[in-house]
Amino acid sequence: MEGRWTGRSVKTEAVVLRSIKYGEADVILTLFGRNTGKIGAIAKGVKKPKSRMRGTVQLFSFGDYMLYRGKSLYTVTQCETKEPFSILREDLVKLTYASYIAEILMGLLQEEEVNPPVFNLMLVVMYMLSREYGTLAVRLFDLKMLKLAGYEPGLLSCVLCQGPLGQGVKFSNMDGGVVCVRCAARTAQGQKVSKGTLAIMNHLITENNLSKLDRLKISHNAHMEMENILHSYWQYILERRLKSISFLKDIRILHENQ
């Protein structure tokens, strides 16, 4: 659906990135709209039992929104759910993955920065998460989002000397990609990464036919290597720790102790 402005009103598709209760019946939302970008909006009276919008402003829900632009916040005047993404709130692991995606978008996007490619990527990955793609969907988001944001990591050759990689390479956050064993010896930071994991990461960046991902076989070790590298890289870029990463670690510890 194309966004349409009429005076101070706009109609747009949007996803709820954050939802905070305000007062007895209102909710403050952070919406990422296809044609509005990231905005703050208040949904008045939605906590009342008879509110028609009660189920349409939940975290991660995707819908059509009619918004009125105020001085500091938009006001939600109408909304209709297109996909509730209920499973992303009900399944603890999926909730954590979706929260991770939302946290990155919240940190990266400027207010009212319209970015249809990022919106489309977010929506595709949320649909994938709501099915059975799990960590693969998150890694796809990581790598394609890095490219869209201008932080695509160098994976095919050493980012410092442009030489071949060979064995013993490391991923350097500061240098924005992989460094060869010689260059790695001259830097104190960096995470070891296998050539197989680098090949998978490059494939996820360049592959646009998502149906082919069903046939992609990734070992547990490769998944963990990618996760550790990308979690560290995002936190370096955003210059802060991501709460969702700590929460994911806590969930895994909980499952291991059961």
pLDDT (0 to 100) of residue 1: 44
How high is the mean pLDDT of the chain?
91
pLDDT at 23: 86
Q: Which of 51-60, 64-73, 87-96, 193-202 has the lowest mean pLDDT?
A: 51-60
More confident position, 5 or 106: 106
13-17, 37-41, 44-48: range with lowest mean pLDDT: 44-48
Q: Flag whether pLDDT at 7 surpasses 80.
A: no
* Res 258: pLDDT: 60
Q: What is the pLDDT of residue 49?
A: 75
Domain boundaries, the chain: 4-84, 88-256
The pLDDT score that the predictor gives to residue 138 is: 96
Q: At 4, is the pLDDT very low, low, confident or very high (cuts 50, 70, 90)?
A: low
For the residues 204-224, what does the mean pLDDT come to? 86
Report the CATH fold assignment for 4-84.
Answer: OB fold (Dihydrolipoamide Acetyltransferase, E2P) (2.40.50)
Q: Environment class of residue 76 by beta-carbon count within 10 Å: exposed (0-12), middle (13-18) or buried (19+)? A: buried
Pairwise pLDDT comparison (55 vs 10), residue with the higher score: 10
Instruction: Identify which of 20, 22, 19, 3 has the alpha carbon closest to the alpha carbon of residue 112.
Output: 3
- Give residue 257's pLDDT: 67
Distance (Å, whole) CA 218 – CA 169 = 20
| Confidence (pLDDT) at 210 | 78
pLDDT computed for residue 212 by the predictor: 78
pLDDT at 102: 98
Query: CB of 258 within 8 A of CB of 222?
Result: no
Common-topology check for domains 4-84 and 88-256: no
pLDDT tier for residue 3 given thresholds of 50, 70 and 90: low
Q: Name the more confident of 52 and 240.
A: 240
Q: What is the pLDDT of residue 101?
A: 98
88-256 domain in CATH 3.30.300.30? no
Is the distance from CB of 158 to CB of 183 less than 8 angstroms? yes
Do 76 and 41 meet the contact criterion of CB atoms below 8 Å apart?
yes
User: What pLDDT score was predicted for residue 55?
Assistant: 72
Q: What is the pTM of this model?
A: 0.92
> 5 pLDDT exceeds 70?
no
Question: Is the model's pLDDT at 13 over the cut of 60?
Answer: yes
What is residue 109's DSSP assignment? P
d(CA 203, CA 94) in angstroms, rounded, equals: 24
Distance separating alpha carbons of residues 115 and 94, to the nearest angstrom = 25
